[in-house]
Amino acid sequence: MTRNEIAAQIGPRAVGAIYQNSDGAFEVLALVTDPAEAARLLRRRAARFAVIVRDVLRADAQPFAVGSVWTTSDHLVRPGGAR
């Protein structure tokens, strides 16, 4: 998989971005693009990236890793870098 393909799967989820989908609303805390580290975090051998997020709708939410690709069901609420 090329860098461009991985970037397309990550989508606009830059650090600081907030996005929403049917699972909730999430702030991106970190991007992991090292496949070995992504595989470790997601416990999947084929992982190419991981996005560390925090659910912004839960006050007690803890960060967790996701490996889902960006789809038309995802909506950017705030671009990354905005603080």
Using 70 as the pLDDT threshold, list the residues of the chain that sit under it.
82-83
CB 70 within 8 A of CB 21: no
Residue 1, pLDDT score: 79
Q: What is the pLDDT of residues 38-48, one digit of tens each?
A: 999 999 999 99
Residue 73, pLDDT score: 96
Residues 35, 74: Cα–Cα separation, whole Å: 23
pTM of the complete model: 0.92
Q: Strand, coil or helix: what is 2?
A: coil
Residue 49, pLDDT score: 97
